[in-house]
Amino acid sequence: MPKINSYGDDSPIAAFATTPGSGALTLIRCSGKGAPELAEKIFSQPEKLRHAAGNTVIHGWIIAPNGQKVDEVLAAVFRAPKSYTGEDSLDISCHGGSAAGKGVMAALRDCGFRDALPGEFTFRAFMNGKLDLTQSEAVMELVCAQTDKGRSHAINRLSGVLEQEINAIKQQLVAVLSGVEILLDYSEDEISANADEAAGRFSGQQPVREILARLRTLAQSWRRERIYQEGILAVIAGRPNAGKSSLFNLLLKEERSIVTEIPGTTRDWIEAVISLDGIPIRLADTAGLRESFEPVEKIGVERSRGLLEAAELVLYLIDGAAGITGEDTAFIGEFQAAHNKLLLILWNKADITPLPARIKIDNDCISISAKTGTGIAELESAIVTTIEAGLNTADAAASLGTVRQKNLVEAAAAALEETLALAEQGQPLDLIAPLLREAVNSLGEITGEVSTADILEEMFSKFCVGK
């Protein structure tokens, strides 16, 4: 029966840190006890590798067991604990062709390295105290970042800003819990003269309220971070020939949608990703909204309506050349009544018919021309402002980066809310203390101070191989 590899061992591991292919270089990362010495078996200059100090680079060849040269490489040596994983490590830079990288990996396996599991290098960095769990998760956030703002927020967490905030909150909470546990350990005659304490009641409501406020601010930050990481679905909608495809191409800055003067040209929705002020936006062009008995167009309209259900922001185009129709006012009214979604109304073809001073809808209109580009800068600014206003959260220094972190912060907050409710009812300390401990443990789980093997394996298994 084959051996099942585990995240918990310290055996030498190796994996591609870059994807082998047509690039100039491929990087292969190796780590584990005695990793540089183990690699001597396949290195053309074993003595140099054996005696190499940490943070040095050695030039040589990888030699297969049959004596054949595999590739000319540079080997960067890192000695424990001054490495990414905290173990002896080796980064091998070989030529970028897939054959060269695969040949080096095969030679490493032959000399005793095993393939790393997903996220195993970062797992070892966590286990060896190089990173906490928030920093570990930030590594994968950084790999997946789609915009500069997403990248900068991930760097913030990787630098330890979130860890510091969580630890500061936990330290406040531990001080409250310690006071409660001291009172529980002594008889009523031995405790202070404070009336609440003498009666065995909780007197720490104010610090708990302060802690709860900090936790709520953190929990709210996840909404903003989710937008920066995953983006928002913005759907362009309107009647046929309103200029939806032209606007889609203009915002995308390339010709993706077919544009003609024939109504109903777009039969199905098309999607692309753009970035506005650091916010990834999944922009979708849809079929024109109208009643149709033509089978293909009817399917396209139905799909458009389904996409509108999933949208977080709708850009509704009014055909300025045709003016506002009953279909336009009906859609806007029904949409606002039925959905709690962000909506921007655009008066298109302003180059032909300028936006009237007064129009028959209650909403403000943004005047644009998808043909000439007039008003597009104002539209992009309005999209960003609308999204950020919809978030209704401040851009705090410390913010949550994953659903796991959000859930644990909310669990800690819920325990403190129950603590305050019991305190207001005058309940005894022995009912309140377990809730305070629960909140402390939730915060400890965020940074990894409190964790189990199953939780860690589940989390790191979602990382990419090589990280």
Residue 388 has pLDDT above 50, yes or no: yes
Whether 280 and 234 have beta carbons less than 8 Å apart is answered as no
More confident residue, 275 or 360: 275
Backbone φ and ψ of 392, nearest 5°: 55, 40
**Structural domain 231-391, CATH architecture:** 3-Layer(aba) Sandwich (3.40)
CA distance 93 to 46: 17
Q: Strand 270-276's sheet: what is its strand order?
A: 270-276, 279-285, 232-238, 313-319, 342-348, 365-367
pLDDT for 391:
66
**pLDDT, averaged across the chain:** 83
Dump pLDDT digits (tens) for 396-452: 678 999 999 999 999 999 999 999 999 999 888 889 999 999 999 999 999 988 777
With left for phi above 0 and alpha for psi between -120 and 50, is residue 253 left, alpha or beta?
Answer: left
Q: At what angle do helices 429-447 and 133-144 cross, to 10 degrees?
A: 40
Determine if residue 75 is left, alpha or beta; phi over 0 gives left, psi from -120 to 50 gives alpha, anything else beta. Answer: beta
Give the dihedral sign, CA 263/268/272/276.
positive
Q: Does the pLDDT value for residue 182 go beyond 70?
A: yes
Domain boundaries, the chain: 13-131, 161-202+398-448, 231-391
Superfamily of domain 13-131: Probable tRNA modification gtpase trme; domain 1 (3.30.1360.120)
Cα 440 from Cα 171, distance rounded (Å)? 9
pLDDT single digits (tens) 214-271: 999 999 889 888 888 888 888 888 888 888 888 888 888 865 444 444 344 444 457 7
**pLDDT value at position 199?**
47
CATH of 161-202+398-448, one of 1.10.150.80, 1.10.3720.10, 1.10.510.10, 1.20.120.430: 1.20.120.430
Q: What is the mean pLDDT of residues 313-333?
A: 85
Least Cα distance to 43 among 20, 81, 73, 17 occurs for 73
Q: Is the whole model's pTM more than 0.85, yes or no?
A: no
> pLDDT at position 7, please?
78
Phi, psi of 308, deg, nearest 5? -60, -30
State the SS3 of the chain.
CCCCCCCCCCCCEEEECCCCCCCCEEEEEEECCCHHHHHHHHECCHHHHHHCCCCEEEEEEEECCCCCEEEEEEEEEECCCCCCCCCCEEEEEEECCHHHHHHHHHHHHHCCCEECCCCHHHHHHHHCCCCCHHHHHHHHHHHHCCCHHHHHHHHHHHCCHHHHHHHHHHHHHHHHHHHHHHHHHCCCCCCCCCHHHHCCECCCHHHHHHHHHHHHHHHHHHHHHHHHHHCEEEEEEECCCCCHHHHHHHHHCCCCCCCCCCCCCCCCCEEEEEEECCEEEEEEECCCCCCCCCHHHHHHHHHHHHHHHHCCEEEEEEECCCCCCHHHHHHHHHHHHHCCCEEEEEEECCCCCCCCCCCCCCCCEEECCCCCCCCHHHHHHHHHHHHHHHHCCCCCCCCCCCHHHHHHHHHHHHHHHHHHHHHHCCCEHHHHHHHHHHHHHHHHHHHCCCCCHHHHHHHHCCCCCCC
83 token code pair: 């490495």
Q: Is the pLDDT of residue 135 over 90?
A: yes
Structure token pair of residue 84: 């990414």
Length of the chain: 467
> pLDDT-based confidence at 9, cuts 50/70/90?
confident
Strand duo 279-285 + 270-276: pairing: antiparallel
For the cut 70, the answer to whether the pLDDT of residue 2 exceeds it is no
Strand 342-348 relative to strand 313-319, pairing = parallel
Cα-Cα end-to-end distance for the chain:
28
Report the pLDDT value the prediction gives residue 28, as an integer from 0 to 100. 95
